[in-house]
Amino acid sequence: MTSWSFFPLSFFLGKTQWEGTGCNGYTLKAHLKLNQKAMPQGDKSAYTDKQKRQAEHIEESYEKRGVPEEEAESRAWATVNKVSGGGKKSGSGRGHAENKEPEKKGGRKGGAASAARTPEERSASAKKAAATRKKNAAAS
């Protein structure tokens, strides 16, 4: 078992340039700078086509809401990993059920925001949306 006390706290926080040798003889190298992500965005070839489509769709949704492109991509892949447990696995019998909780969480958060508004605010919003749809239908 690894003794985590061997590592300085700054190693985990990504605020150091540190090199040392672990108790098992392996050389540990960390060239982490301030505000640099510990894990870079990696090769996506280990993911299925379905996972790639899901990530793309989630990323587009975040971008529509004004999240920067890089942050949206990062969040999208984090969600896909949370749902599916990571990339595809080799061999038969390695499958498992997907965890739908992260997807449900987004719906609950959005629903809670809507429910927090007063009936008058919701009605006004619905009327405005209906007027916009009517105007767009007439224009096309």
- For residues 21 and 100, which has the higher predicted lDDT (pLDDT)? 100
Q: How does pLDDT run across 68-97, given as a tens digit for each residue?
A: 999 999 999 999 988 888 877 766 667 777
Mean per-residue pLDDT, 5-16: 56
Mean pLDDT of 10-14: 57
Closest CA to 2 of 15, 16, 17, 12: 12
What residue spans of the chain are helical by DSSP H?
9-13, 49-64, 69-84, 101-115, 119-139
From residue 41, alpha-carbon distances to 14, 31, 35, 73 in Å are 16, 16, 15, 9
Calpha distance 83→93 (Å, rounded): 18
Q: According to the model, what pLDDT value does residue 6 have?
A: 57
pTM higher than the cut 0.85: no
